[in-house]
């Protein structure tokens, strides 16, 4: 017999996967310039004030070749630039360009607006709790398993 705990887990699983299914499509549709992946990588660069391709790959569990191509695309669009690392000639430190920061801000704003609309009728407390649960879940699923 499924416990209520099992049922909650089942629901969480179903809803999160459903979200995953939709996310890419809607992102692609609303922001043809900056796909979900590109957006995320660029946002990470902005957040970290620059980092290496390898760091991106590790953080997002992507193959380095994938990151290499995504970064190349972002560079072609003028959203990131590569700076040599003085300490290690192999390394290119990636930074958003001013245009990159601009575009990021604009996409983030409109994306935020879409979320705001969906979350418009939530109480502040519910929002805070939902956010907290998601962070907690995210930590659990990125943390290296023992």
Partner DNA sequence: TCGGATGGTTGTATAGTACAACGTGACTGC
Partner DNA sequence: GCAGTCACGTTGTACTATACAACCATCCGA
> Is residue 37 close enough to count as binding DNA by CB under 7 A?
yes
If the CB atoms of residues 64 and 112 are measured against DNA, the closer one turns out to be: 64
- Residue 128 binds which of a second copy, DNA, none (CB < 5-8 A, kind-dependent): a second copy
CB distance 10 to 30 below 8 Å: no
Out of 3, 4, 89, 141, the only residue in the binding site for DNA (CB under 7 A) is 89
Q: How many CB atoms lie within 10 A of CB 93?
A: 18
Q: Could you list the residues that contact a second copy (CB under 8 A)?
A: 4-13, 15-25, 27, 36-37, 39-40, 60-62, 111-112, 115-119, 122, 124, 126-131, 133-138, 140-142, 145
* DSSP β-bridge partners for residue 84: 92
> Is residue 62 close enough to count as binding DNA by CB under 7 A?
yes
CA atoms of 8 and 133, how far apart (whole Å): 13
* DSSP β-bridge partners for residue 93: 52, 83
């Amino acid at each position: 017999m499924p416990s209520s705990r099992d049922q909650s887990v089942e629901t969480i699983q179903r809803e999160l996967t459903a979200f995953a299914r939709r996310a890419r499509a809607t992102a692609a549709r609303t922001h043809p310039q900056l796909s979900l992946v590109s957006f995320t990588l660029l946002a990470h660069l902005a957040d970290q004030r620059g980092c290496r391709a390898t760091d991106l790959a590790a953080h997002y569990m992507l193959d380095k070749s994938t990151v290499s191509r995504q970064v190349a695309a972002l560079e072609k669009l003028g959203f990131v630039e590569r700076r040599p690392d003085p300490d290690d000639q192999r390394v290119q430190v990636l930074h958003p360009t001013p245009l990159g920061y601009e575009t990021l801000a604009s996409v983030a704003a409109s994306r935020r607006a879409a979320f705001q609309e969906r979350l418009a009728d939530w109480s502040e407390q519910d929002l805070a709790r939902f956010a907290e649960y998601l962070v907690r879940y995210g930590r659990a699923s990125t943390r290296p398993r023992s």
